[in-house]
Amino acid sequence: AVAEATFDGSPCCGSPSTSSESTRCDTTTSTAIRSAGNRGKFKTAARGTSGRGMAWSNMKCCSKGGGAVDVRASLPRGVNGDGTAHVATWRTPKRRFEPAQRHESARKRCVLTLSSASGASADFGSVDQSQSGTGSALNAFWRFLRPHTIRGTLLGTTALVARVLMENPSSIDWTLMPRALIGLLALLCGNGYIVGINQIYDEEIDRVNKPFLPVAAGDLTKAQAWVLVVLLAGGGLAAVLTQFGTLTAKLYTLGLFLGTIYSVPPFRLKRYALPAFLIIAIVRGVLLNFGVYHATREALLLPFRWSPAAAFITLFGTVFATVIAITKDLADVEGDKKFNIGTFATALGVRGVAFLGSGLLLANYMGAIGAAFLAGQGNFRMAVMVGAHALFAALLVKSTVALDKAKYSKESVQEYYRAIWNLFYSEYLIFPFI
């Protein structure tokens, strides 16, 4: 679908072509545009609550004389998949623009032509932001790392380490802090490698399913992406080999291996629903939780033993990772079918997988509440285990009902998947206190 957005409701170069998808932005919600001197560059930031995943095709701005000037985007990809601000740089085709045009007047003189993959209208935030080439590169790198997975790794690692320290306060040694930070960096490198190698081999699919990703969008070339994944994998592995024991190194290597065969031919196990979700469940469930717990105790010179909390989060996290694995493809059915990628969503349909995922997660929450009663006195804090998981279960039901009422539109599917990740983050936020 093609939509046209007009700043302040009045383009200076005549009326835009009529379209049923036409969207007008008023003064308070329009995106601020600012000229960057005589270099003919425009910089804009967009934030979408309804336009996520939107692909921006081009911008038309009016010159001082009233003629239209096409402005092509180096990154015409709208907003990030998680709805956060995404900064794109727009360039005019070798034509000087009036440097005196400040963003207050310029935004009255520009017409945006948007190409929306979802058909949703744009929701612009009021932004006046300039970004250098370095900033654009950093933005692309950050999106390459898939921020929602980075947050999960950060929260999970921090929560597990905090729990071990809370269980063994007498073993706390602040001289181990540099080693802990190196371990965290290694995990983030491993996370970046796995999602990065996937983007390299999924470039064509992502142009359909996730056009905002930097490789699919053209912000990173494949050569640049390869350099990044090699550095991430090599740096993470070197850190683990030099700072941690043999078992931790083996677990880390196993995670890299599983992430590789998930995406890379001839294996490319992501093509098959069962192996694909098992890999994600093992890496984000078993390896992350058990690996961090083991490495932390090892660093504190404590013998390994399962605590009730550690056993709980490993099992709970594995089931939760399974839910993430089967629901992550809900918004990707179109591209997956086109490229013959077998997922639960393509086999069972969006509604079927959504109810399957919600059912598994609801059972997970009921199991957590049951564990609080069955584990015996002193193993868990009853109020936290029962209260928090009952609340999370209610929020899950609310999100599922909202998805069903919205008839599984692309936007509602993205909201549902975002809610799943927020529940995942929430679990690790309460974990040290269960």
The predicted-structure confidence for 38-75, as pLDDT tens digits, reads as follows 223 333 333 332 233 333 333 333 333 333 333 333 33
Residue 249, Cβ density class (10 Å: 0-12 exposed, 13-18 middle, ≥19 buried): middle
| pLDDT at residue 19 in the model | 31
Task: Write out pLDDT tens, residues 345-364.
Answer: 888 899 999 999 999 999 99
- Quick check: 133 and 39 in contact, CB under 8 A? no
pLDDT at 340 (0 to 100): 81
Cis peptide before 93 (omega within 30 of 0): no
CA neighbor of 52 nearest in space, from 204, 209, 158, 195: 209
Residue 37: how many other CB atoms lie within 10 Å:
9
Model pLDDT, residue 336? 86
The yes-or-no verdict on residue 337 having pLDDT over 60 is: yes
Q: Which ranges of 202-272 does DSSP label H, i.e. alpha helix?
A: 203-209, 214-217, 222-243, 246-263
With 70 as the cut, is the pLDDT of residue 242 above it?
yes
Residues 6+ apart with CB under 8 A from 425: 151, 152, 155
What pLDDT does 123 receive? 26
pLDDT at 207: 92
Q: Give the model's pLDDT for residue 134.
A: 59
Work out the pLDDT band at 341, boundaries 50, 70, 90.
confident
Q: Does the pTM of the predicted model rise above 0.85?
A: no
Higher pLDDT, 336 or 413: 413
Q: Mean pLDDT throughout 206-213?
A: 92
Residue type, 53: G
Give the whole-angstrom CA distance, residue 231 versus residue 237: 10
Q: Give 321's strand partners.
A: none
Tokens of 370: 């049951």
The 10s digit of each residue's pLDDT in 244-280 is 999 999 999 999 999 999 999 999 999 998 999 999 9
Phi, psi (degrees; rounded to nearest 5) at 111: -120, 130
Measured CA to CA, the distance from residue 64 to residue 418 in angstroms comes to 44
Q: Is the pLDDT of residue 34 over 70?
A: no
* Residue 136: predicted pLDDT: 86
**Adjacent-strand bridge partners of 129:** none
Could you say which DSSP state residue 128 is in?
A: -
| 159-178 mean pLDDT | 95
pLDDT, position 372: 94
Name the average pLDDT for the chain: 76
Is residue 346 helix, strand or coil?
Answer: helix
Helix (H, G, I), strand (E, B) or coil at 174: helix
186-to-241, 244, 249, 250, 324 alpha-carbon distances in Å? 10, 11, 11, 13, 23
Question: For the segment 127-137, what is each residue's pLDDT rounded down to a tens digit?
Answer: 222 344 556 88
pLDDT of residue 42: 32
pLDDT at 133: 55
The CA R_g of the chain, rounded to the nearest whole Å, is: 24
Q: Percent of the chain beyond pLDDT 70?
A: 69
What pLDDT was estimated at residue 90?
Answer: 34
